């Protein structure tokens, strides 16, 4: 079955398609950025944890009396 598509229908499809694709690409870029922010947050959380553990170890080494 061959669908007969008029020129007007092609242009309408292109106009709506462009808006859809641009919004999709935008959401994709925001998604990638959120992924980067999540990785940065993990890295910073790791740094804070390492620092806290280091401080706890130093506290244990102090002689009492």
Partner 1 sequence: MGLRTRENPLAALAALAGVLVTAAIALIFFYVPTDVDQGFSQRIFYIHVPVALTAYAFFGWGAWKALRHLWKREPGADLESYVAIHQGVIFGSLTLLTGSLWAKISWGHWWLWSESQLVLFLVLFLFYGAYFMLRYSIEPGPARANMCAVYALFGVVLIPISFLAIRLANQLIHPVVFTLQGPQMSGSMFLTFCVSLAAMLALAATLFHVELAGKRIDSRLSELRELLA
Q: Which residue ranges make up the site for partner 1 (CB under 8 A)? A: 6-9, 11-12, 14-16, 18-19, 22-23, 26-27, 30, 33-34, 37, 40-41, 44, 47-48, 51
Least separation, in Å, of the C-beta of 63 and partner 1? 30
Q: Give the Cα separation of 47 and 35 in Å (integer).
A: 19
| Cβ count within 10 A of residue 45 | 10
**Residue 51 or 55: which CB sits closer to partner 1?**
51
Q: For partner 1, which is the closer residue by CB, 1 or 7?
A: 7
Q: In 3-state terms, the chain is what percent helix, strand and coil (to 5)?
A: 85, 0, 15
CA distance 3 to 8: 14
Distance in Å, CB of 34 to partner 1, minimum: 6
């Amino acid at each position: 079955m061959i669908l007969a598509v008029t020129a007007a229908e092609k242009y309408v499809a292109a106009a709506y398609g462009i808006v859809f694709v641009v919004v999709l690409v935008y959401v994709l870029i925001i998604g990638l950025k959120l992924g980067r922010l999540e990785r940065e947050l993990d890295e910073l959380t790791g740094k804070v944890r390492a620092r806290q553990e280091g401080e706890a170890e130093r506290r244990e080494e102090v002689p009492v009396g």
